[in-house]
Amino acid sequence: MHDRTIAELGRALEQGECSSVELTRATLERIEQAADLNAFITLTPDSALAEAEAADAARARGEAGPLTGIPIAHKDIFCTRGVRTSCGSRMLEGFVPPYDAFVVEQLRAAGAVTVGKTNMDEFAMGSSNETSFFGPVKNPWDRKAVPGGSSGGSAAAVASGLVPAATGTDTGGSIRQPAALTGISGLKPTYGRVSRYGIVAFASSLDQAGPMASSAEDLAIMLRGMAGFDRRDSTCVDRAVPDYRAALAQTDVRGLRVGLPKEFIEADGVDAEVSSAVTAATEALREAGAEVREISLPNAGMAVPVYYVIAPAEASSNLSRFDGVRYGYRCDSPADLEDLYKRSRGEGFGEEVKRRIMVGTYALSAGYYDAYYRKAQQVRRLVQQDFARAFESVDVIAGPTSPSTAFPLGSKADDPVQMYLSDIFTIAVNLAGLPALSIPAGFGDGRPVGLQLIGNHFEEGRLLGAAHGYQQLTDWHRQRPSVEG
């Protein structure tokens, strides 16, 4: 059952081939078999089996939906009532929320079965899933390589068939980049499409929750379950949620206008096998009837430096609440109040989080705010305008998701700039608030390559349709690594 999609498992449950309880037990056993991947921080077998029994009862009453009885996992950044939510940090190692995040509420109401919480970079800060307090996650295609970050635990769990789908968050590419490096499909929705209520905040103007799964069809099912208006998040948009899966059946790539930014094509530092796979993917779309044309995003090169002013600035503000008094880890036997603050934050946060807090605090400080933060926001507007002009002539924008395939564990740990450049093709999308996804498009030296497709605001349906159309032409999304390694 581990190699089946949500859609296929739904049919198996509907036809009585298995029950949700049986499926959940098999899922938990497979997770134990693949414990060396370190994809999970917390497992919830008792509550999962109880939810599975409830799902089987709902199906018997004729009340099942497409997610009823399907085992899924949540990134450990989503608050889960009565279940530890660590955000991959020592700071929140013992935090057990008294409430569910909106996304958790929605998927629980849709009948999905939560089997556990997945590993992640600490406070979602990282591109390799090596900054977690609970240790690095391994890439199931090559256990000596990273799975990407910060949703690397979710990506590894889906790629190795431990669960058919998982949730993630994407602040600068944290769904799409690990999806590309592990050979799965991952969607970052439009900013405001999915409520951020109950997500531990990193950079509030950039964070967005989204699904990770094996196919575009499964992303459509998951997004339909996750999205919706929520008054508890002032940035959540009150807009009807389409039936994305139903729309796929009417989708055809013929006539689709695909833009190829010359800045993506001519970018330095892109692996040859990545360029080759993306070129082959766009050629496949062209042969299927899409119209591929070159476009320009002239300010795309400024996206990374702009992001690394805005995101740390917001992080320094959001993480100020974790001081050992109001929230989070508290040091032992502090000498005085100042010692309490310093040691609680010094011992509770990891090195990457401290680095970004210091950068952000500097950018927001008196005398530097106008020079750095305000200027970065002005350039962010230029990046947004580039995309707006591009979408006047194309329906979707295509390019690489990551400049390389999965890199060796530890190879960039001492070079933060090189690590930050792992997200060079994804960050601009977050600055503009656009939807984008990554789908498998080939392999380089045995490791997956991701194709990124970017859409206009709230055009997730068209984006998923393009991805589904491509997956009808290829079988890259059907490739699976061996759990045994």
The residues that are catalytic are 75, 150, 174
Three-state DSSP class for residue 113? strand
**Residue 93: which of 349, 274, 302, 272 has the closest Cα?**
349
How many Å apart are CA 117 and CA 80, to the nearest integer? 9
Give the C-alpha separation, 49 to 114, whole Å. 9
Measure CA 437 to chain center: 9
SS3 of residue 43 by DSSP: strand
- Residue 120 to residue 118: CA distance in whole angstroms: 7
Q: Which residues of 340-369 are buried (b: 16+ CB within 10 A; e: fewer)?
A: bebbbbeebbbebbeebbebbbebbeeeee
- Which residues have C-beta within 8 Å of that of residue 436, sequence separation ≥ 6? 176, 187, 188, 426, 429, 452, 453, 454, 455, 463
Q: Which two tokens stand for residue 42?
A: 């917390």
Residues in a beta bridge with 187? 437
Cα–Cα distance measured from residue 112 to residue 226, given in angstroms and rounded to the nearest whole number: 11
Backbone angles phi, psi at 124, to 5 degrees: 65, 25
